[in-house]
Structure 1
């Protein structure tokens, strides 16, 4: 499985770069069809789930949405939320169910076209392929602001992908910057452990966990929201730039209400702006950020109410959310945090990732480095992307929608093989 043979390029009909749920889903389709292929994985299959999630991490979508091809969720808690170790076990079970041809510990450094073939330079030599599926997702380079360079050396700073648990940080108070899903859940993890948390709030939206008798995800599924293609979304492809709604599946699932955290002692600030000496500066707008997040959550409830009424569904009434805390005018106008005076011992940067496809030598990218594609099919014959956020629908890249996207690309792969005159089964990978 992991032989490291060098020499002439090793050829496969299809090579998949990336061994997460996206690459493995494509491998499942190809193996069912007997198509020669190989998966190249930089680390170990499912690496991000194993090594880039904190200890109490869990899914924010119900287990019933886990529908990898040929391998739906098989546990006894479909409305629960798998924890980190359960997610890894689910993925490992998927791998065991069909034994994909994978080479782990292989880093791809360059992909380019060579005549009718694609060539791949990797840490264990070169490969060639008739078709290539890039399945490395869209989260590659952790974003840390340049201001971080000015933090005092004795203050620990990590990215959200490096956070493990409250005990892994030194004693003292913690500054968490960013309120996407990771930032809010890490702030909650620290808060529940009794750590004093300072949270730099951004413009991420939130969503309620349940409403009118069902998980909001179940309502949205019934409303076919998860089938909405990106071109029909009100924001169009711009939705790919939006931060995910924050909510949690922890302890059976609940809302994340930053106002409630504030009542309990968490210190909320506006967006992190700068660092001047030992003082962190935060911009104005905390009130607006909180109000806008609530407004998004309430607008989703509005759409659920309309769906219930239009379909004559018997669902219990539920009172709407009432804010439990408001920031002071002084805090809303902008604030500063003296790191020394507040005994800040650690900073956790939760402001996302950048993509990095610089290793692909093919002119298919826009000015921001995003690949041009239509449902993962690029203008370069035989080159595909799989697992990008909102590649086709909300579920693209997630356990809920990756099977559909992989099936779509599989059909394109087969069509191109037919046009190239390939028939019958290829040699085994």
Structure 2
């Protein structure tokens, strides 16, 4: 009975391809996953999204185009200004307050790489082709293919700023969770889109970012004892952090906590004792909390901090926000393969008591690279998978309400 109820929301063709398919690698021998017209619409939408450069901070162009596209498909689109000329897009059909929210992000990392499609190899590439415009395009086409009450109970949200701290999703969350806001509304199910290799994610690591800033005293390099080298102090501090890195919390589910020294800079010239230096560091938490790891970092650098202060310098740690612990995500849909991932998402930035799912086409291993790309069949399969995920989570939520 439940399966029959699910199928009633799907067009006739979708019932024929409801189960996940594994097409052959040869695109010429692969069975079609979508009707020709829907596949053409998907590829056109994906191409337009990728062709619009939307590096974080410059999302206005793609946002305007996507607004026009969604409105042409009879969606109501509400823009939410996050900062000047940067807007989240919230789209819905006949009902403003829905039970299900389907969301991804429209910003990308730099630099911009142009769109390409190699029909012989079936490969589609360009900046954002995977992360996360593949999810955006597949989500939209998946929702458009639904019918009846289920279609009316879905909202689409496409946010800015995911790649640099999630200011778009945080802004949206502040609106819907503020009881005094006209946008206040609680969703029962939220489906997030990120590159997950077509699998359902059961959780991802937490995040803690910080910068070690050192200030010393400039001097001529021929007389280094007259100064305090910020570079020397920073190198010593980083050495302590490398030792700490091998002793950070771990878990069976997420593995080891990792620490990446991402950017180091200091000094002005080889013949000048460096007055300032800093290093930016990202920690991916597999266990514990940001507060616990913050304490470990402070303990590791305590002696270095005391030493440089005695010489008249300073060592400060600037935390990049509060961070967040490992994030467990719902993955109770049996028909999907499962995995955990090491990267961060907007999942923790949307506060509230809702079921949350994370899925998307393409691999994180090519995201943020100069060879970011995915296969056409994976993009098409994502349409079927998003649609299946929407239907099954909706049916599950409905059953839970009946049993309460």
Please report the TM-score for the alignment, with normalisation by the length of structure 1: 0.31
Please report the TM-score for the alignment, with normalisation by the length of structure 2: 0.32
